[in-house]
Amino acid sequence: MLTTSYYHDLTKLNTFGMKVKARCFIEYDSVADLIDIEFEELARPVLHIGGGSNLLFTDDFKGTVLHSKINFIEILDECSLTGRISAVPSASAKCSQNIEAAAAPVKAEGVDGMPPRGLSQSDWGVKGEIVEDDAPTETKTFVSVGAGVVFDDFCEWAAKEGLWGVENLSYIPGEVGASAVQNIGAYGVEVKDVIHKVYCYDTVEEEFVHFDVEECGYGYRDSIFKRPEVKGRYIVTHVVFALSRAPQPKLEYGHLKDAVAEVASSSSDPRLRKLRHSLAGGSTSLPSDAASAGEAGLTPEMIRKVIIKIRKEKLPEPSVKGSAGSFFKNPVVPMEQFLKIEAAAKAEHGSDYKVPHYDLPDGMVKIPAAWMIEQCGWKGKRSGGAAVWDKQPLVIVNHTGEAYPEEIIGLEKRIIASVRTRFGVELHPEVEHV
């Protein structure tokens, strides 16, 4: 069903809590509804919003805002396979053009060549033959999720189902469709790691298409869907995720392993107390198969609870303090530049001081933007109605609930300038200004 309203309040659809309105607001709850929208006649610009978790509205939106209420989660297939699954033919298999140039992605097949009209996607997803090759055996559970599903609701569902893959992404605000556009990430995991296909409506060709994960052009908080030449063209209808029932814990990021060990130590389950010693020692490998994980008591639900605890301790509750989560991307610099930053830090703090960082391929180093911002003295600082969160300097908050966009933008610019002056590093916002 399509619903249209005018001068619609967007306060609850942007996590910053900016009190703005959209000239025209359209909400839909099925893929079939998209066929009935006359996109050429919509007031411009057109913005598709997925919870507004990475948006900073600078004013009332003068065009049309679209919002998906396509809400379903459905297991499509569970395969224990050798090699890979050959599902709906990919765009690369059907055409030779480069998808990065917004070439024709493959049409999504359904009944009579059209997508199903209801919420059940069982005839429109991952189906096909198993292709044998020499790759190791792997178990995958393919799950189709509507674009309007709250992403954390999906994470909760997956954890309860015993499915691994998205537990590290728990408690990230926003919706599933937006997650595939933004390539959300946290604690060593990006959503691209578990995406199989992204299904969309092409508003130019007026047809349903899909992109294999390789064709989505995923990078750090980036995808083909954000690029100027195609931005706004493709509306995500649903995403097919490749999850696993075999344990795949990823605990190497930051102090996550220590946090899991702490939870294990307070448990009455003897399996978890044993697991604590393995994690704390750092020398014992994590369970890598279902049997050993069961013996250790390690589950995606457990890791999800740890992630949520960490995020609640570090990040503001959106209903209390509006924010967009991480405001800046973590910068990536050459090794020689990092060594200069490290040398300066040791000269200031002592020879034993360690600069947090993550080594990347090709001699590059990722430095937490939060560390740089804190070193510049911004943690907890206010500017009018805006402030840097006192528990996580990577977060700018609508401190009073009445902050003006200009106050947030002004704070952003001053932070960028101070980091540039001190470290010679240019910070770039994750947040999009609209």
Active site residues: 221, 326, 430
Among residues 52, 13, 308, which one has the least CA distance to residue 171? 308
Query: What is d(CA 232, CA 45) in angstroms, rounded to the nearest whole number?
Result: 9
Query: What is d(CA 243, CA 77) in angstroms, rounded to the nearest whole number?
Result: 11
The amino acid at 88: V
- In a 13 Å sphere around the CA of 103, the CA atoms on its Cβ side amount to 16
Decide: 208 and 202 in contact? Cβ < 8 Å.
yes
Query: What is d(CA 227, CA 185) in angstroms, rounded to the nearest whole number?
Result: 19
Q: Give the list of residues 6+ apart from residue 268 with CB closer than 8 angstroms, or none.
A: none
Place of tokens 């691994």: 164
Q: Token pair for residue 181?
A: 């556009």
How many separate helices (H) and strands (E) can be counted in the chain? 10, 23
The amino acid at 125: G
Among residues 252, 255, 277, 283, which one has the least CA distance to residue 264? 277
Q: Token pair for residue 39?
A: 């996109």
Q: Give the list of residues 6+ apart from residue 194 with CB closer than 8 angstroms, or none.
A: 165, 166, 241, 242, 243
Burial of residue 1 (number of CB atoms within 10 Å: 0-12, 13-18, 19+):
exposed
